[in-house]
Amino acid sequence: MYYCVFKMKTWRRIGIVLFASLAIAGCSKLSDNLLESKSGKGGKTASAEKGGGIKAKGDKGQKTEKPEKTQPTPRVRPAVPVKVAIVEEGDITSSLVFDSVLETESSIEIFAESSGVILEVLVEEGDRVKQGQILARLESDMQQVDADEAEARYEHEKLNNQRMVELHERKLINLQEFETAKFNLEQMRLRYERASIQLENTIVRATVDGVITERLAQVGRRVTANRQLYTMMNLDELHANVNVSGQHLLNVKQGLEAVIDSDLIEGVQYDAFVRLVSPVVDPGSGTFKVKVAVLQDNGMPIYPGMFVNVRIIVDNRKDSILIPKDAVVHEGDLKYIYTVQEGKARKQLLQEGYSNVEFVQATSGVNRGDAVIVMGHNALKDGANVKVVTDSVASENAETTHPATAEG
C-alpha cells in the first residue's frame, strides 16, 4: 500500500514537470512568431516608404510597379573667352645676342694753336660740323701785322731777285752774288709763309667731320697755345665691341649682318655688320672680340655711350612656321601651345626651333592657318570649351577666370 502511494506521487511529479516544460516551450514559440510578424510588417512599411510606389495595407493583393531610374544631367562647363592668332609662314633668323655700349672710332680734342683772347665762339655742343669749318676766332692784330710785313719784304725781294737774274744773264755780276740773291728771296718767302701760318692759327677749325660734344671756349677768355677748346666725335663711325664665346669662332665672320637697338630709343633698329673678328681666343674668359659697326645710312640719331643690344645674325630660315611668343605656355622645362579645334582648346607640346623677339619657330605639329590661343590660356585645360573673342574681353577673362572654370 505504501509502495502504491509512493508510485502515484512520483508519476504526479513527473507529469507536473512535463506540463511545465510544454508550457514554457509553447510560450517561447509564440513569442518568436510575434517577433517575426512585427518584423515583417515593419519591413514592408520601410520598403513602402523607401520605394515610394507601394500601396497601403488595404491594397496588399494588388501588384505595385517600380519607378524608372532617371539619369543625372551632365554638367556643361561654360566656354572660356580667348583671343587667337592665325599661324603664318615667314623668315626667322638665328642670332647671337649681346649687351654692349656704343663707341666711336675717333674722339677728337681741339686745341688753340695760338695765344690770345677769344673774340668769337661760332658753334655749340651738339652742332654737326664739317672738316675745316671755323669754330672760334682769337685776336689776331699782331699776327696780321707780322704777316703784312713779311709779305711786303717778300715782294720786294722778288723784284730785287729779278734784277739780279737780268744782271747775271748779262754777266754783270758773278755767280756768288747771284746765289746770294736767290737765297735772300727764299728766306723772305719762308718768313712770309710762317707769318701767314701764325695768322691762320688764330682761327680755330674742325679737323674732321663730326659733332661737337664739349665746348670749353668762352668769348673774352685769354688762352695760350695748346689749350683745349672743344671735343668732337665722328658719329659716322660708331661701333660696339662684344665678346663672343669661342664655340662660335667658326660661325662669326667678317661681313655678317647684325642689328643694334637701344631701350633709350624704343621701336628703332639700326642696321649693322661685323667689321672685325679677332682670331685670338682669350684663355681666361674663353671668348674672342668682335667689332660690330653701325651702317652710316640709317637715318636715325644714335650716339656714343648708349647702352645697346647687339644681335649678330648667323643663320636665316625661310618659309618657317611662326608662332607668336604670347601663345607659348611654360610648364617647367617644357613649352606648350593651345590650338582651337571645333570650339575646344587642344594642348600640344611645342617643338621649338629658332626664335626672335616676337615669334618662335614650330618645327612640327602646327600648320599654316591654325588658330593658336594668345590670350586667356593661362587657366585652360586640354579639351576646355572656348569662345574666340576680342582683346578686351579675353584680357578681362584672363584676370578673373578661376582654373576650375576652364576644365572640360
> Which of 204, 232, 260 is where one domain is finished?
232
E strands along 235-327, which residues? 238-245, 257-262, 265-277, 287-294, 307-324
Is residue 129 a part of any domain in this protein? Answer: yes
Contact status, residue 343 vs residue 386, Cβ threshold 8 Å: yes
225: left (phi over 0), alpha (psi -120 to 50) or beta: beta
**pLDDT(343) > 50:** yes
Domain boundary among 232, 250, 274: 232
Q: Is residue 13 part of a domain?
A: no
How high is the pLDDT of residue 387? 86
Residues 140 and 200 in one domain: yes
Q: How confident is the model over 99-137, as pLDDT tens digits?
A: 999 988 778 899 999 999 999 999 999 898 999 999 999
- Answer yes or no: do 345 and 306 share one domain: no
- Specify if 132 maps to a domain: yes
Tell me, yes or no, whether 260 lies in a domain.
Answer: yes
Per-residue pLDDT at 16:
64
Q: What is the pLDDT of residue 353?
A: 87
Average pLDDT score over the chain = 80
Least confident of 5-14, 80-89, 246-255: 5-14
Q: Tell me: the pLDDT tens digits for 34-57?
A: 444 444 444 444 444 444 444 444
Looking at this protein, which amino acid is placed at residue 152?
Answer: A
Closest C-alpha among 282, 276, 205 to residue 241 = 276
Q: Within a domain: residue 74?
A: no
Q: Does 160 share its domain with 258?
A: no
Per the domain annotation, does 309 fall within a domain?
yes
Give the model's pLDDT for residue 17. Answer: 56
State percent of the chain over pLDDT 70: 76
Q: Quick one: 127 and 166 in the same domain?
A: yes
Question: Which pLDDT score is estimated for 7?
Answer: 46
Tell me, yes or no, whether 146 lies in a domain. yes
Same domain, 244 and 100: yes
Indicate if 266 and 328 belong to the same structural domain: no
Q: Whole domain around residue 175: which residue ranges? A: 112-232
**N-terminal to C-terminal alpha carbon distance within the chain:** 106
When divided into structural domains, the chain yields a total of 3
Same domain membership, residue 394 and residue 304: no
Both 226 and 118 in a single domain?
A: yes
At 148 the pLDDT is 93
Tell me the per-residue pLDDT of 298-330, one tens digit each, with 9 for 90 and over: 666 777 888 999 999 988 888 889 999 888 988
Same domain, 125 and 190: yes
Judgement on whether residues 304 and 351 belong to the same structural domain of the protein: no
The verdict on residue 22 lying in a domain is no
Q: What is the CATH number of the domain that holds 142?
A: 2.40.50.100
Question: Running DSSP on this structure, what letter comes out for residue 79?
Answer: P
CATH classification at residue 295: 2.40.30.170
Question: Taking 60 as the threshold, does the pLDDT of residue 27 lie above it?
Answer: no
**Res 297: pLDDT:** 62
228 and 340 housed in the same domain: no
The verdict on 336 and 309 lying in the same domain is no
Report the pLDDT value the prediction gives residue 263, as an integer from 0 to 100.
82
Instruction: Flag whether pLDDT at 6 surpasses 50.
Output: no
Q: How does pLDDT run across 163-210, given as a tens digit for each residue?
A: 889 888 888 888 888 899 899 999 999 999 999 999 999 999 998 888
**pTM for this structure?**
0.53
| Coil vs helix vs strand at 2 | helix
Final residue before a domain boundary, out of 212, 232, 252: 232
Closest to 238 measured CA to CA, from 128, 99, 102, 127: 102
Please report the pLDDT score of residue 64 as a whole number.
Answer: 53
Using one digit for the tens of pLDDT, what is the confidence trace for 357-405?
788 989 888 888 889 999 887 778 888 888 888 755 545 555 554 443 3
